[in-house]
């Protein structure tokens, strides 16, 4: 009896984790270089403020995230990237990706790691572009039944503006 109940609980968890939310229903992969690629997962962006660099430049730091949710709106996983860039006189003086990471809160979802990374621009340029992609999988016992590959792109500009996009 207990074994049967435990089996039902595991199956119910799998179903809840793998049923996409309404926002995820139109699951069309898109090219990260395509600006027309629409965000279909909930995303967020945190402006972590402005500071001053040692050379008198202005510095900004932002964190972007995208998350996967189930039908009832529970967050199952979240993929994050954080960048910092400094600028002065129309040029980037320093820039870096501070961190990128995945977290899971669903019972069967696992963060499998990073699958892609690209950095362009930076010191002496007019922008800093950081792109990353991660891999999440819904797994039970030894079988992974669903995979998601979210990506995030953040661009910091030498005039202090910022843009970001994310999708899967």
Burial annotation 107-129 (CB, 10 A radius, 16+ → b, else e): ebbebbeeeeeeeebbeeeebbb
**Ramachandran angles phi, psi of 13, nearest 5°:** -65, -40
pLDDT value for 109: 92
Banded model confidence at residue 145, pLDDT cuts 50, 70, 90: confident
Over range 81-99, report the average pLDDT: 96
Asked if residue 149 has pLDDT above 80, the reply is yes
Q: What is the 3-state secondary structure (H, E, C) of 41-84?
A: CCEEEEEEEEEECCCCCEEEEEEEEEEEEECCCCEEEEEEEEEE
pLDDT value for 130: 98
What is the value of pTM for the model shown?
0.75
Q: What is the pLDDT of residues 6-45, one digit of tens each?
A: 344 444 444 444 444 333 333 334 444 443 333 345 677 7
């Amino acid at each position: 009896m207990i074994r049967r109940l435990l089996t039902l609980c595991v199956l119910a968890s799998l179903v809840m984790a793998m049923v996409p939310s309404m926002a995820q229903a139109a699951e069309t992969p898109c090219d990260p270089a395509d600006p027309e690629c629409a965000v279909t997962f909930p995303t967020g962006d945190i402006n972590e403020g402005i500071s001053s660099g040692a050379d008198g430049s202005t510095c900004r730091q932002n964190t972007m995230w995208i998350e996967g949710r189930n039908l009832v709106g529970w967050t199952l996983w979240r993929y994050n990237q954080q960048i910092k860039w400094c600028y002065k006189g129309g040029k980037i003086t320093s820039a870096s990706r501070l961190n990128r990471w995945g977290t899971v809160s669903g019972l069967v979802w696992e963060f499998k790691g990073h699958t892609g990374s690209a950095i362009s621009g930076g010191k002496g340029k007019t922008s800093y572009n950081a792109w990353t992609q991660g891999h999440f999988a819904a797994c039970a016992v030894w079988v992974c039944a669903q995979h998601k590959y979210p990506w995030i792109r953040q661009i910091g500009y030498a005039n202090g503006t910022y843009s970001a996009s994310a999708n899967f």
